[in-house]
Homo-oligomer: A and B are copies of this chain.
């Protein structure tokens, strides 16, 4: 059996991006990772703030943002423009040869507009496939992909796409070529037994324990899709999934911090 190189697929949450100091510290740690790596970033509050300033009302259905054409314009500008290019320029200054990509660029992600029996989500994308070969080609030529959560369909329609899902799909697709570790980094220290106490990090969760935690309602709403994504990734070739604090990225990689999601 041929041993494969390590690849870290790292999602950085919006709350970190909103904070200049935390974001800088995270990007410095990210740049210093010697293994191959891919960064997927969310959007944070910048898009919402810009929409507010422009007087564009945000529609939410079941906690999910509906992307009308004006909102799509804003998220495209903020995610693929402002946030993505600032991250890339900063990483370049830390000697990390970053390349910012939406799903449309080099056709790395094919998506379609979400089809749902009752809710029209607007211009929201669901992923059909990830072009792992193209990403591998970039990585092998010394580049570090920085992915914005914007994709497009075969008609050239841009689509707002969940960054956690993009991270999961990329991690799965790349696991054919690398030993992939998927890291969801955000403002909390990991999955917490008490959502209000950052010292109650659960160091390891397998599927049985997850089921128990869910039935006891110890895992809160926003965390459930993250962990579901984590198990889906583990069931499709990804070696390890870690959830933890963005400022502790180096420790997340060293297994000395955060929550490990495991199939064991």
Contact = CB atoms under 8 A, between A and B. Distances in A.
A166 interface: no
Nearest to A27: B156
Interface of A: 53-54, 73, 76-82, 84-86, 88-94, 97-102, 104-107, 137, 141, 143, 150, 152, 154-158
Q: What is the predominant secondary structure among interface residues of chain A facing chain B?
A: helix
Given A86-B156, A99-B101, 8 more contacts: A54-B54, A77-B82, A78-B81, A80-B81, A85-B102, A89-B158, A91-B156, A92-B152
A94 B107 CA distance: 12
Contact of A105 (B77, B86, B99): B99
A77 B88 contact: no
A32 B156 CA distance: 16
A89 B154 CA distance: 8
Which 8 A/B pairs are nearest by Cβ-Cβ distance? A81-B81, A93-B156, A77-B77, A89-B152, A77-B81, A90-B156, A89-B104, A89-B156
28 contacts: A53-B54, A76-B81, A76-B86, A77-B81, A77-B82, A78-B81, A79-B81, A80-B81, A81-B82, A81-B84, A81-B85, A85-B102, A85-B105, A85-B152, A88-B152, A89-B104, A89-B152, A90-B156, A92-B107, A92-B152, A94-B156, A97-B106, A97-B107, A98-B105, A99-B105, A100-B102, A100-B104, A100-B105
Contact of A104 (B53, B88, B157): B88
Contacts of A158: 85-86, 89
Contacts of A94: 156
Given A85-B102, A104-B85, A93 B53 contact: no
Contacts of A154: 92-93
